[in-house]
A and B are shown apart, each in its own frame.
Chain A
Amino acid sequence: MSGKLAEILNIHKWEKGTLIFILQKVQRELGYISEEAISEIAKRARISISEVFGVASFYSQFHFTPRGKHTVKVCLGTSCHVQGGPRILEAVERELGIKAGETTKDYKFNLETVACFGCCALSPVIVVDKTVYSRMTTKRVKEILRLYQ
């Protein structure tokens, strides 16, 4: 088991109800939920591997493959939808050469869609890592992504 994973799992006490919290912690520290992490968590929590994976795969937050350096999230909430969010997504997909849910080959970018950031009044928005870009246009996609190249 990787040292970091052991470290995380050693710190946190197993109480009822902590599974999601531990998964979040593992993902935050390691970037994704590996097969190893799932089986190790199952062992320590004394529940089956399928139960851990069942919970993890239910929630959209968890990923099972390594992540890229930057995460681009395109909001497809209602307000963003009526203001042209889907076209922004297409433009980002063209620019990065990947589809939503994928990671670029050089592990520089992940592309995700989100149901709503709550920035509806300034839609459409995209979020790169933690920065929110509001009132997006397809024209601005290229210049914004260039900042992270």
Chain B
Amino acid sequence: MTFEEIQNRAIAEWKNLCGETRILVGAATCGRSAGALSVLDAINEELTKHNIDAVVTQVGCIGLCYTEPIICIVKPQQPHIFYASVTPEIVPEIIEDYLLKGDPRPDLALGSVGNKNVKGIPNLFDLPMLKPQVRIVLRNCGFIDPTNINHYIANSGYSGLVKALKMSPEKVIEEVKESGLRGRGGAGFPTGMKWGFCRKAPGNEKYLVCNADEGDPGAFMDRSVLEGDPHGVLEGILIGAYAIGATKGYIYCRAEYPLALERLYTALSQMREYGILGNNILGTDFSFDIEIKEGAGAFVCGEETALIASIEGRRGIPRSRPPFPANSGIWGKPTNINNVETLANVSMILQRGATWFAGFGTENCRGTKTFSLAGKIKRTGLIEVPFGIPLRQVIYDIGGGITGDKRLKAVQTGGPSGGFIPPEFLETPVDYESLTKLGSIMGSGGMIVADEDNCIVDMARFFLTFTQSESCGKCVPCRVGTRQMLDILERICRGEGEEEDINKLQHLAETVRDSALCALGGTAPNPVLTSLRYFPNEYEAHIKEKRCPAKVCTELVYYYILPDKCEGCMLCLRNCPVEAIKGGKRMVHIIDQEKCIKCGTCLDFCPPRFNAVVKISGEHPVGLEEPIPVKK
């Protein structure tokens, strides 16, 4: 079959589908964890009950994770109508009212997408969380069936590949260079240039690796793209392979992403069936195959030389560069490694052209970047914004501000390799250089919001715990340095910090940053350095006053029951796992500080109308010795 025939068949199938009533259920990992599959069951049950003909499809994530599960109903020639926070109980109402009676239930709908307006329902992309977004990488997520290659093809999929195959490989590299695309894995190296190196490297056997080892805790962009639109990434892989002259490709995907892996396996077999993968792709001289390598759980394997070692079946330990993988990678052959998001951009650059792509973003950072917005923010989710957007707009317009209208303490970008950005820098444009200037990094796109209830010292300790345990141990600065930094941070969090510790930390962090072998070690001190730079007060409170201002560090916190608020309801007493609470019915309760393990169960159980349990830090609780009757 020629591509034209494949395309015509796909378009016919898509048109046919659009003539039917469709129900799309957001069933990526996040949707599923919020209950999408039970919503799906309820929908099917309801359709059977009323004998309604509708096509139910599981789609990827449109990014509004905070209000999952999300479903979308599309009647023929009608706009898409999205319903959010759907429960199995509400499904019958939506289906009966919209599908049987024609009432789209504006009170339950989140937004609509399409040419026509629906009365009472706003346009989905005009909503504050979506309006500043530009969806290039996420274009198809939530709209097409990720398990059906025809859906992708009908929406101009693989037309970028077809275009590339008609160009010379050098021309393809030129096009990518012109687009200004930079690697989305974190380093921001120009993709076209990277391809050029590998293209020029001598050798007939070359490899292209798609790095889907999204190991940064707090990042899930690549997972969402792979689950929602795998072909978007695969098309980019093929274009890249053609450009550099690769014969074989690997997708190195972490085993913690079972659904993404499943989607990839399905996608690959469909590509083979259509002749888009394998020998003589689409009837050309270009032959290429892709193998999936499941990661086995090692953060350092995101580093390219470690990733190569892991693909070769060895311990994932980085090596010094040069030689760079472009010259000597897998089995010593020229190898090019790109991140998932980079490759998803490539397919669009070829489909729509370099000039179109370069129209988004800033002078030095073209296009868009996806972020996983999480932590203490109202609208958590997966977002895609043009480079240069001020941080404030991301946090307050898209994210809706801080949960419970608390005070923002810091925005953490770049995962364990990144740093904390305090509120005074909220006007900073989001791009590689600006974030680096602040001591943080863009990283792969994790963005975690911390509020006044988060302790910065504790968060720095958290990141160091992670990097320390993930350090491969090859080079001394990282192996020993992260351990020493962690020891000091743990000491400070326990209230055993000394005044000299701040200088020691600073010195250690700078040494590790400047001397570690790979990027994991070199960036591991960033959380420490930025927290020392922007939050010295928090360190001092821990060290000098033995106080945790956010009341997080367990050793510096006491739970205490306010005698004038306790109503003697016994809820905390009964649920305390270590029986550390004395009291009785209508008797003011007392926590035995010797027995208390500071688990916080009492605080969770104390009814909000009493609010009698509090956390205190920096002072020792003094109060009642024995329970007394509750005052009227």
Contacts and interface: CB of A to CB of B under 8 A. Distances in A.
B298 A121 contact: no
Nearest to B298: A59
A120 B380 contact: yes
A118 B255 contact: no
Q: How large is the interface on B (under 10, 10 to 19, 20 to 34, 35 or more residues)?
A: 35 or more
Q: How large is the interface on A (under 10, 10 to 19, 20 to 34, 35 or more residues)?
A: 35 or more
B535 to A, nearest CB: 15
Contacts of A115: 215, 217, 299, 466, 470
Interface in A99-125: 114-123, 125
A45 B299 CA distance: 26
A72 interface: no
B223 interface: yes
A4 to B, nearest CB: 21
A134 B604 contact: no
A19 B219 CA distance: 29
Interface string A81-115: 11100010011001000000000000000000011
Interface string B206-242: 0000000011111110011000000000000000000
A78 B219 CA distance: 9
Contacts of B299: 115
B461 to A, nearest CB: 10
A2 interface: no
Task: Provide the main secondary structure of the chain B interface.
Answer: mixed
B462 A81 contact: yes
Interface stretch (B30-38, B51-59, B99-107, B320-328): B30-38
Nearest to A60: B297
A133 B296 contact: no
Interface stretch (B112-120, B311-319, B427-435): B311-319
Interface in B367-405: 372-376, 380-382
Contact of A61 (B255, B314, B600): B255
Contacts, number: 154
Contacts of B316: 58-59
Contact of A94 (B294, B295, B577): B577
Q: Which of A59, A94, A121: most chain B Cβ within 10 A?
A: A121
Given A59-B296, A119-B220, A122-B33, A82 B312 contact: no
Contacts of A55: 313-315
Contact of A82 (B256, B375, B577): B375
A121 B30 contact: yes
Contacts of A125: 33
A48 interface: no
Contact of B217 (A16, A77, A87, A139): A77
Q: Which of A61, A77, A90, A91: most chain B Cβ within 10 A?
A: A77
B65 interface: yes
Contacts of B258: 130
Nearest to B224: A118
A82 B376 contact: yes
A18 B293 CA distance: 10
Contacts of B448: 78-79, 82, 120
B313 A121 contact: no
Contacts of A78: 217-218, 374-375, 412, 415-416, 446, 448, 459, 462-463
Contact of A138 (B215, B450, B600): B600
B454 A82 contact: yes
B599 A87 contact: yes
Q: Which 3 A-B pairs have the closest CB atoms?
A: A121-B65, A118-B220, A77-B217
